[in-house]
Structure formats: structure tokens, C-alpha cells
Amino acid sequence: MAGSRSYRIPALLTLESGVVIVGADQRVSIANDSPNDINFVVRRSLDGGRSWEPVRTILRYPGSGCLGASVIDSVIVQDRDSGRVIVLIDQSPAGTDSPTHRRAPGTTTAGG
């Protein structure tokens, strides 16, 4: 869907207005976890989940495959006082995995 190998780790929230938002890891070129090029995408439903708007990319980082940067494992919340939607998400530089930030095989750090 939308030119992606897979989607994982969904985050779902029904807003006080009744709008439903779902976010997910868009694993673009390979279905693996980090290191990988993973974007954060969302879809909205204005009718309680019966139909959905097209996928919208919220965060897209450069790179491809294990040389891509990642944004993964989102959590979506709504501030009850302001109504503002907040997304908490892990971000990893290109060629690293998020828990340990090890370099992917065959990559080097900046400058060598």
C-alpha cells in the first residue's frame, strides 16, 4: 500500500471530536526493523472507522534500506485541555538501530 513493503506498530486514538487517527511505521524498502528507512504515516477516519482518508506521511527521513534513518514505535495522545494531538516517537540516524545505536554492517560513521 502506498509504495511500501510493510506497515507495523500501529497507534490508534479516537479524539474527543470522534475523529479516529491511526499512525504506523511505514517500512519503505524492506520490512525489517531498524536499521531501515522507516517513515511515520497517519490515516484519519471522520466516520468512526467506516472509511479512511489516504495515507499521509508526517515524518520522512533520507536513506534506503539499512542505510535509512528511522522514526518508529509511535504513541499518539490528545491533550484534554488544549485538544492538541501529540505524537511521541523514537528517531534513529541512518544505519543504526534504536535500542543500542549500533552501526549497520558495511556502514561507517561520519568522517570514516
Please indicate, yes or no, if residue 36 is contained in any of the structural domains.
yes
Task: Report the pLDDT value the prediction gives residue 109, as an integer from 0 to 100.
Answer: 47
Residues 6+ apart with CB under 8 A from 9: 24, 25, 72, 73, 74
Domain span at 66? 6-92
Average confidence score pLDDT of the chain: 85
Task: Report the pLDDT value the prediction gives residue 112, as an integer from 0 to 100.
Answer: 34
Cell of 92: 534513529
Please indicate, yes or no, if residue 102 is contained in any of the structural domains.
no
Task: Report the pLDDT value the prediction gives residue 111, as an integer from 0 to 100.
Answer: 36
State the first-to-last Cα distance of the chain, in angstroms, to the nearest integer: 37
Dump pLDDT digits (tens) for 32-85.
887 788 999 999 999 999 999 999 999 998 888 888 888 999 999 999 999 999
User: How many domains does the chain fold into?
Assistant: 1
Please indicate, yes or no, if residue 29 is contained in any of the structural domains.
yes
CB 69 within 8 A of CB 94: yes
Q: How confident is the model at residue 98 (pLDDT cuts 50, 70, 90)?
A: low
Please indicate, yes or no, if residue 97 is contained in any of the structural domains.
no
Closest CA to 72 of 33, 16, 17: 33
CB 40 within 8 A of CB 58: yes
